[in-house]
Amino acid sequence: MNSITSLLHRMTQESIQWETIGDRRHIFLQCYTLMSQNMYSAIGTKHFKDPQWVSNLLVRFSEYYFDALDLYQAEHPEVPQVWKQAHDATKNPETHVLQNLLLGINAHINYDLPLALYDCLETEWPNCDRPKKILRKEDHQLVNQIISASIDEVQETIIKPISPSLAIIDNILGPIDEWILSRLISSWRTDVWEVSELLLEAKSPEKRKEIILKQEAEVFERGEKLLRIF
């Protein structure tokens, strides 16, 4: 497993390179880097009940992103369709900056996160008592606070410089648009915990595969709807 610092370094380097050459994949990755840095800081300040477990989850979660990216860049047939959808959309100049951002968030949270949660809980889950399961879920939910606190910075440093017209909307709505984005992500993360529990309680590898395929299909369809909203 990689270290958090090495993953953050790769995130930073990739996003800088992409922004320099006008590759719109930097939009999601800059957002993801910022939130990951804030997560890393929160782990260091004991924001979570079990910082080591959250640290392991942060790393595993990031590995899913980079594994899919490596497959996409190699044009490998096994790249998750939700990531092919998100990356392909960045090549279309008519795709809005918010679509690029939300497609990346959709793929990473709704597809990658339940897999990462499963990986980090698989060994302990059969012997977990109810208090331990609640503790894990509470740490999962505490991440929402980090995301919420990061949204305004994402808006100011990533979205507005690319789409200045959104500054007008932001001036009119105040914090409402950031609130909507934060609520959307929090809602997705709540659903994801339920999917991870289904994976953990599945009685066979075949059943888990069925759950994963169903989740990927639903995430892909959500992505298609995101592509139609502008």
- Domain range enclosing 80: 4-227
pLDDT at site 173: 42
Q: Where are the alpha helices (DSSP H) in the chain?
A: 4-21, 25-44, 51-73, 81-89, 97-105, 113-121, 130-154, 160-162, 165-173, 176-201, 205-227
- The yes-or-no verdict on residue 172 having pLDDT over 80 is no
Between 97-101, 115-119, 154-158, 200-204, the lowest mean confidence (pLDDT) is in: 154-158
Write the CB contacts of 198 (distance below 8 Å, at least 6 apart in sequence). 211
Q: What is the mean pLDDT of the chain?
A: 89
Tokens 């995130």 belong to 11
Q: Is 160 exposed, middle or buried (0-12, 13-18, 19+ CB in 10 A)?
A: middle
Write the CB contacts of 18 (distance below 8 Å, at least 6 apart in sequence). 24, 25, 26, 29
Mean pLDDT confidence for 3-7: 89
- The yes-or-no verdict on residue 149 having pLDDT over 90 is no
> Coil, helix or strand for 158?
helix
What's the whole-model pTM score? 0.90
Q: ∠ CA 101-32-223 to the nearest 5 degrees?
A: 35
Alpha-carbon distance of 175 to 197, in angstroms, equals 33
Domain tally, the chain: 1
- How sure is the predictor about 97, in pLDDT bands with cuts at 50, 70 and 90? confident
Percent over 90 (pLDDT), the chain: 75
Measured in residues, the chain has a length of 230
- The yes-or-no verdict on residue 188 having pLDDT over 90 is yes
Read off the tokens for 218. 């639903």
Residue closest to 98 by CA, chosen among 179, 24, 4: 24
Mean pLDDT confidence for 182-208: 94
What is the residue type of 184?
L
Mean pLDDT confidence for 118-138: 96
Read off the tokens for 168. 């007008």
Alpha-carbon distance of 87 to 126, in angstroms, equals 37
What is the residue type of 45?
T
pLDDT at site 181: 76
- How sure is the predictor about 176, in pLDDT bands with cuts at 50, 70 and 90? very low
